Amino acid sequence: MLSINILESWAKGSVVLEKEVLSPVTKARELIESSSFNCSSSDNMDDSLTNLQWLQEFSIRNTSGGQYVISNNQHQSNLYEQHLHGDAPASPLEGDLACICMPLTPGKPTATALCSLPSMAEYGYCAEEIDYKTNPHIKPPYSYATLICLAMQASKKSKITLSDIYTWITDNFCYFRHAEPTWQNSIRHNLSLNKCFIKVPRQKDEPGKGGYWKIDPEYAQRLLNGAYKKRGMPPVQINPTLKNQLRMSSQPETVPETVSTNISDALHSTHNSKELLEEFENINGHDPNLAETTLFDTRSAVKGSKRKYTYDLWNSVAKSPSRSESTLEEPKVLESLEGNFDWEALLNSVMNGDFSLDEGGPLSPIPQDEDLMAHGIHVNPLEAFVSSAESSLLMETQRDSDVNVDKETFFATDFLQNPWSEEENRPDLLCISNADVNQLFDVEHSFSDDFDSTILTLL
């Protein structure tokens, strides 16, 4: 039962997580993956936030350790076929190819993904898994701001240097190792222009050049009553320098790794890119871009014919519809009952206590069966997921809009309010609280000792 309260506390900013209780969900997800759960939908790919297809696409980590379970080829082929024919509903992670499959190796920052976009097929990436960590051809579908934020989160530090950002990105995304260094200019541009990023001057006694960067908590406060905008995933971009090469080859060419992929210890590489992205998605509705737009909803003010980049989150928030309004406008509920559903809703259902996972104690052994508890009743894990999500969504419709806190915004706000601990190397609230479902389900990923100490601190 604790997992529910855990997540509820998590939503409130105080996090209580246990290691073992989530394993049944892992099992459940395995079942979901292996099941023939079929979400027939005519939704286009942009309806990703209310879609269950992506859930089916999840690969589940093997709880026994070792290699992660990767989606079987047949499954991938089906997915690809569906995408090609346009009849496959898009997942919240539609463009987030890194989030479809799990790393092959625990703790190894591989963003393995199923390629399922026609543009990728054009270059021979059909039904292939893409590992952003090793694949230099495909540009990760994440904005620079997202990447910066991920790097910051990965650092587990309150501040991070520009070079650390570079390092993290190149360590986790092979594309940028092979790409022209202009992307670094874009990174700097983002840091400077985006008001959510604030520069922390380096102390005089600190060696090195340049300052540190962190997220401005002020904007977290401003975001409290704000809304966010969701934007679809950017198109997959092929490394232009490799396009011709890819065209020449009918098979995706394996480009040898020329750069070591070792992650800086200072960056606490236990957070790989995929996990971080998932965390963001979990916070912000599973859309990495949403993560960005939530956290760094930028606004460019047009002055005459000249655009000035202000990246003014405050203006954006002020002009955004109220939270309740945006909630009322969300058509997620019905869609979810029609076969599309929101992973966040599922998560919320867990938070609301609708979804009981553990019949033992907080530290009870990992159950070896696939049982789940929903409202005290044994249920099929798959059913549990679906029913809990649906019940949650139904409850959502009946809830007063004032009471119905927009958890996406809340999570994002929570993140911005508590981006990082001031204490170096201490797992901050974000890093814990937004531990995504994958991580929650991931026994192996586990929780560090300092995590436990942090929980005690928070309590």
Partner DNA sequence: CCTTGTTTAGGTAGAG
Partner DNA sequence: CTCTACCTAAACAAGG
Residues that bind DNA (CB under 7 A): 46, 139, 142-145, 161-163, 166, 180, 182-186, 188-193, 199, 207-213, 229, 231-232, 234-235, 237, 289, 292-293, 296-300, 302, 306-309, 316, 319
Sign of the C-alpha dihedral computed for residues 411, 413, 417 and 423 taken in this order: positive
Least separation in angstroms between CB 46 and DNA: 4
DSSP state for residue 99 in the 8-state scheme: G
Output the CA angle 411-49-34, nearest 5 degrees: 105
Residues with Cβ < 8 Å from 368, sequence gap 6 or more? none
Least separation in angstroms between CB 434 and DNA: 18
Question: Which CB, 172 or 316, lies closer to DNA?
Answer: 316
How far does CA 87 lie from the centroid of its chain? 24
Least separation in angstroms between CB 191 and DNA: 6
Distance CA 435, CA 271 (A): 10
CB count within 10 Å of CB 208 equals 10
Distance CA 179, CA 243 (A): 12
Distance CA 44, CA 87 (A): 8
Least separation in angstroms between CB 163 and DNA: 4
Q: Tell me the Cα Rg of the chain.
A: 21
- In 3D space, the residue among 429, 437, 304 whose CA is nearest the CA of residue 28 turns out to be 437
Distance CA 103, CA 119 (A): 23
Question: Which CB, 87 or 329, lies closer to DNA?
Answer: 329
Q: Tell me the β-bridge partners of 301.
A: 308
| Residue in the block written with tokens 């159950």 | 367
- In 3D space, the residue among 374, 372, 376, 367 whose CA is nearest the CA of residue 29 turns out to be 372
Could you tell me if 162 and 210 are in contact, meaning their C-beta atoms sit under 8 angstroms apart? yes
Distance CA 42, CA 342 (A): 16
Q: Give the β-pairing of 377-379 and 372-374.
A: antiparallel
**97, 118, 221, 286, 370 from 384: Cα distances, Å:** 26, 34, 36, 20, 11
Task: Kindly compute the dihedral angle of the four CA atoms of residues 6, 8, 10, 13, in this order, to the nearest 10 degrees.
Answer: -130
